[in-house]
A and B are shown apart, each in its own frame.
Chain A
Amino acid sequence: MMDEDKELIFQCQRGKMKAFKTLVEKYKKPAFFVALGLVGNREDAYDLSQEAFVRVFRSIKRYNPEHKFFTWFYTILSNLCKNHLKRRGVQKSHLENIDLAQDVYSPDVILEKNEINLRLWEEISKLPYEFKEIILLKHFHEFSYRKISETLNIPLGSVMSRLYYARKKLKENLKDILD
């Protein structure tokens, strides 16, 4: 699988559009859903994940084949999402009494819109970025610890401790429905 990516990237570096298309088709779903979890609504997630691919294409010559493609891609995508959230925060900060998370975290994206799921989605949206990120990778993308460690570029031990504190926080905020 890794060799396949390397070959595709090698082709992309020589300007082969077809190889780039194959790469996009292969990773578009994880890209979109990662962004969806991070920014909370379909429109932004669609746009930001596409933009991440465009940036990949523009900087493909600088890609270091020592790293896995998805790790590199994730860094680009995550930075785009983080900046997007920051910008949105700044735009909203001068408006009072607006719950930042709620009007951009769309409940539409939840498959089964029951009370628990909607509350959970709301609480995830309010988590600090690093906590949100690791919860999403573990639960919605079903990444193994090894894959999380590669994707976030942190040691396995940090994966476990970050996950512990992220879940602890989420658990406390959801106390009323978990008990």
Chain B
Amino acid sequence: MDCQDVKTYLMAYIDGEIDSQKKSEIEKHLSGCEKCIKEYRSFLKLKEVTEKMKFTDLSDELWAGYWKGIYRRVERSAGWIFLSIGAIILLAFGVFQFFKEFFTDPSVSLIVKMGVGAFSLGIIILLVSIIRERLFLFRTERYREVER
């Protein structure tokens, strides 16, 4: 093993992820190479220092509330779906009521009624979708402000 090979396997050696064959080859090289042993020692020192640093845990209260926060977000998106469906149904019903005479007029052919109905429904769905998107953007942008 030369210095370049040692470089390749040095991390595995330090982290104990190496087979015994390579391990003894590295050790053989290290015992006779000043440059590599120096590099090895400095990596080892870094590993020691890094392993001592730990993060503080969250309070039990925050951990307990973790799932609730997720559930709330999932539920909220389900809420939006129902809200949209509701809005579409109510608006469609409103349009139907408003043009009731047209829709119940027997002299207008069914195909025209269906065309007007589909056209109105399309507009309503687009409208609801745009309003939803606007509200959502407003909500997230405001949230980002708070976050800062």
Contact = CB atoms under 8 A, between A and B. Distances in A.
A28 B66 contact: yes
Nearest to B10: A164
Given A170-B46, A171-B42, A163 B66 contact: no
Instruction: Tell me if A's interface is mostly helix, strand, loop or mixed.
Output: helix
Given A145-B15, A164-B11, A167-B46, A110 B55 contact: yes
Given A37-B55, A111-B56, 18 more contacts: A32-B58, A42-B58, A46-B62, A47-B147, A54-B73, A54-B74, A57-B74, A58-B77, A108-B56, A110-B56, A120-B49, A120-B50, A138-B15, A160-B12, A167-B46, A167-B47, A171-B43, A174-B46
Nearest to A42: B58
A135 interface: yes
B77 A167 contact: no
Contacts of A109: 55-56
Contacts of A11: none
A53 interface: yes
B99 interface: no
A117 B53 contact: yes
A21 B67 CA distance: 7
A140 B55 contact: yes
A29 B56 CA distance: 12
B51 interface: yes
A46 B73 CA distance: 14
8 contacts: A36-B55, A135-B50, A145-B15, A160-B9, A164-B10, A167-B11, A167-B47, A171-B46
Q: How large is the interface on A (under 10, 10 to 19, 20 to 34, 35 or more residues)?
A: 35 or more
Given A46-B62, A167-B11, A25 B67 contact: yes
Contacts of B119: none
B70 A53 contact: yes
Instruction: Tell me if B's interface is mostly helix, strand, loop or mixed.
Output: helix
Most buried by B among A17, A139, A140, A174: A139
B67 A145 contact: no
A117 B52 CA distance: 8
Contacts of A160: 8-9, 11-12
A167 B43 contact: yes
Given A53-B70, A109-B55, A144 B17 contact: yes
A139 B62 CA distance: 25
Interface in A130-168: 135, 138-140, 144-145, 160-161, 163-164, 167
